[in-house]
Amino acid sequence: MIQLFLLVVISAVTFLVTFIVRNIASCLDIVDKPSARKVHKSPVPLLGGLCIYIGFITGLMLNPNPTGNLKLILMGASIIFLMGLIDDIRKLSAKLRLVVQMAASLIVIFGGIRLTFLPRGFLGNFTEMFITLVWLVGVTNAFNYLDGLDGLACGSAIINTFYFWLLFYVTRQINLSVIPLILLSACLGFLPHNFRRAKIFLGDAGSMFLGFMLAGISVAGNWAQDSVIKIAIPILILGVPIFDMTFTTIVRIKEGKIKNLVEWLKYAGKDHFHHYLVYLGFPPLGAVLFIWTCTFFLGISAIMLGNDRAWEGILTLFQACVIFAIIGILIVVGRKRRSGWSIEE
């Protein structure tokens, strides 16, 4: 009952606040203007991340005692949010953005939140810290890249947070379950403003805040106590943005478009999964719904994996690999049809 109360109140607050923030962004000319690499054809207010953040903080005020080290995730996510907010208002360099993302991630890591699956010792600890750093920075930017069609990133975050909440709940990590619920509620309140002919965009502040929170939540949870295979649970839940970022990065490196981390962060183009679906003939809304469907079924695979024995877990991972293979094939075919297409509603 308490969690239902949180969902309703936070969603309502975020929904109402978004009307105000939209008007402020328009008045201050904090808008995303059309360009060759963007889908929209007229200026759209930014600062949607501020709406999500206000809704999230409202949830924390109603439940002011997040479990232990989760406070460090909230601190890191707040740094990411502030950096993204400044970037939405006045563009920051890719190098500075990367430095801030790494600093926020290190706050979480040195606070004691990191992946733990290797033997104890200096080499094991260092490797885990490095992998956690790559995970936090990678997922943060993967979610930023996902924010390319109306409602795509926000709706995906709703599905992602639902599965994290469900897994925390069924594994009796009740205190942890409150955080994804608060995030889910804020996204639910924002989505009506952002879905189909969006009236406001998440902006970098919103997409990176969501990405960092989801990455941090996944690291904080206990997934693989009885089987190392289950460490793949958060990878499945966040599978679409991770696969999209990985595939796109490999192609960009192969084609010589990026040569280092800063160029990777700076590069922008219509070469992501959602773009290729449109090149294949999907309407933008259809592409969004298709990706939400993939995300939903990967989440089911994650739930199954959490309850599977080792051999069943391998079969579940195989099933997920089939989904990723389908996504990869669609991307390859979409690349072949890319020339001469434009993305419009």
The per-residue pLDDT for 16 is 96
Closest by Cα among 279, 132, 277, 329 to 215: 132
| Strand, coil or helix: 31 | strand
The per-residue pLDDT for 207 is 94
The per-residue pLDDT for 38 is 60
Distance CA 285, CA 267 (A): 25
> How many Cβ atoms are within 10 Å of 15's Cβ, its own excluded?
18
Task: Quickly tell me which residue has 């989505």 as its tokens.
Answer: 191
The per-residue pLDDT for 166 is 92
DSSP classification of residue 257: S
Task: Quickly tell me which residue has 């943060």 as its tokens.
Answer: 140
Amino acid at 232: A
The per-residue pLDDT for 308 is 59
Chain centroid, CA 186 distance in Å: 14
The per-residue pLDDT for 250 is 85
Distance CA 209, CA 215 (A): 10
Distance CA 266, CA 145 (A): 11
Enumerate residues 6+ apart whose C-beta is below 8 A from 328. 243, 247
Long-range contacts of 265-268 (CB under 8 A, 24+ apart): 265/94, 265/97, 265/98, 265/141, 266/94, 268/37
Chain centroid, CA 258 distance in Å: 22
Q: For every one of its 345 residues, what pLDDT tens digit does the chain have, with 9 covering 90 and above?
A: 677 888 899 999 999 999 999 999 989 888 887 665 566 567 889 899 999 999 999 998 887 666 656 888 999 999 999 999 999 998 888 889 999 999 999 999 998 888 776 656 656 678 888 999 999 999 999 999 998 888 999 999 999 999 999 988 888 887 788 899 999 999 999 999 998 888 899 999 999 999 999 999 988 877 655 555 667 888 889 999 998 888 888 888 887 888 777 777 777 777 788 888 888 888 989 999 999 999 999 998 888 887 656 666 677 778 788 888 888 888 777 777 765 554 444
H helices present in 28-151, as ranges: 48-62, 70-89, 94-110, 122-146
Closest by Cα among 191, 170, 198 to 10: 191
Distance CA 18, CA 12 (A): 10
pTM: 0.89
The per-residue pLDDT for 68 is 59
Terminal alpha carbon distance of the chain: 40
The per-residue pLDDT for 173 is 82
